């Protein structure tokens, strides 16, 4: 199964891939190192076929949501503290910071694929100013945060 990070906001959240560093624009699928390939991809909750939004989890209060497949980020139990962790946590930190600047509030949740509706294991409200290091963003499974600016 795949671990996902989900974010929800009262304003539209951008989708896309962040952090890829290919050797050149002409060779977008070739990377010098594994760190150059480490990235985060955010997919929104808009279904183009039905022209409608769906919710990634019933726990969210906001209409606009993104999912980030957790291939390069780990739960607290699996975190290695290496350069890849730091790069991807930095990308996540930047993404959340930008979302907070746009809306003032972001809901932040993680779960295994298919378990998004299971009960939340831990829920808290946290001011963005309390996120002192990148590692403060690492959650446990089905942990839910409301982050405010």
Q: 12-69 pLDDT, tens per residue?
A: 999 999 999 999 999 999 999 999 999 999 999 999 999 999 999 999 999 999 999 8
Measuring CA to CA, which residue among 35, 31, 30, 22 is closest to residue 88? Answer: 35
Tokens matching residue 129: 């100013």
Measuring CA to CA, which residue among 39, 43, 42 is closest to residue 90? Answer: 39
Q: Which residue has the tokens 């955010």?
A: 42
Distances (CA, A) of 49 to 41, 65, 90: 21, 17, 33
Average pLDDT value for residue range 82-99: 94
Q: E strands, the chain, where?
A: 3-9, 16-18, 40-44, 46-47, 52-53, 64-69, 105-112, 122-127, 143-148
Contact between 20 and 11 under an 8 Å Cβ cutoff? The reply is: no
pLDDT digits (tens, 9 = 90+) for 97-128: 999 999 999 999 999 999 999 999 999 999 99
Contact between 101 and 89 under an 8 Å Cβ cutoff? The reply is: no
Helix (H) and strand (E) counts for the chain? 2, 9
Q: Is the pTM of this model over 0.85?
A: yes
Q: What angle do CA 79, 102, 123 make, to 5 degrees?
A: 45
Average pLDDT value for residue range 86-104: 96
Dihedral class, residue 19 (left if φ above 0, else alpha if ψ from -120 to 50, else beta): left
CA 33 and chain centroid, separation: 23
């Amino acid at each position: 199964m795949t671990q996902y990070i989900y974010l929800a906001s009262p304003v539209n959240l951008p989708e896309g891939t962040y952090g890829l560093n290919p050797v050149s624009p002409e060779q977008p699928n070739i990377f010098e190192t594994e760190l150059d390939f480490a990235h985060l991809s955010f997919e929104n909750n808009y279904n183009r076929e039905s022209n409608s939004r769906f919710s990634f989890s019933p726990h969210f209060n906001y209409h606009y949501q993104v999912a980030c497949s957790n291939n390069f980020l780990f739960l607290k139990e699996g975190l290695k503290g290496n350069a890849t962790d730091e790069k991807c946590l930095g990308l996540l930190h930047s993404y959340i910071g930008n979302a907070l600047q746009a809306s003032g509030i972001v809901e932040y949740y993680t779960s295994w694929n298919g378990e998004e509706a299971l009960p939340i294991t831990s829920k808290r409200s946290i001011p963005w100013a309390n996120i002192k290091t990148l590692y403060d963003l690492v959650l446990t499974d089905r942990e839910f945060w409301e982050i405010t600016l």
